Amino acid sequence: MKKGGWVYIMANRYRGGVYVGVSSDLVRRVHQHRHGGGSAHVAERAKTRLVYAERHDDIEQAIIREKRIKRWRRGWKFALIEDENPDWRDLWDVWFAKE
């Protein structure tokens, strides 16, 4: 049985720099980003705001989707985020902070 995965986008501010990633454990990965671990790119640019996430039943499909989104223009990424999260709220606070 294949394990699912998440495609996610981290940002440093509204319509600022974004980082597209993939993980089988979104909570662990975002926690790493928020505490300076994981990607040096994210840590150096303070991209600690989880602004987008989509679940996939198959990690391989999540990886394909992540690679596709990484090739997109910035405006397309912004449109993807704003379709689900128009105010660029930190989804960590919405989804996980209450745990």
Note the pLDDT tens digit of each residue in 28-42.
999 999 888 878 888
Which pTM was predicted? Answer: 0.92
Six token digits for residue 80: 């993807």
Q: Give dist(CA 81, CA 61) in Å, integer.
A: 19
Residue 55 banded pLDDT, cuts 50, 70, 90: very high
Six token digits for residue 32: 């790493």
As a whole number, mean pLDDT of residues 37-48 equals: 84
As a whole number, mean pLDDT of residues 64-88 equals: 98
- pLDDT at position 41, please? 83
The enclosing domain of 83 has a CATH number of 3.40.1440.10
**Considering its fold, how many domains does the chain have in total?**
1
Residue 98 banded pLDDT, cuts 50, 70, 90: low
Going edge to edge, which strands form the sheet with 18-23? 18-23, 5-11, 49-56
Instruction: Tell me which residue range forms the domain holding 66.
Output: 5-95
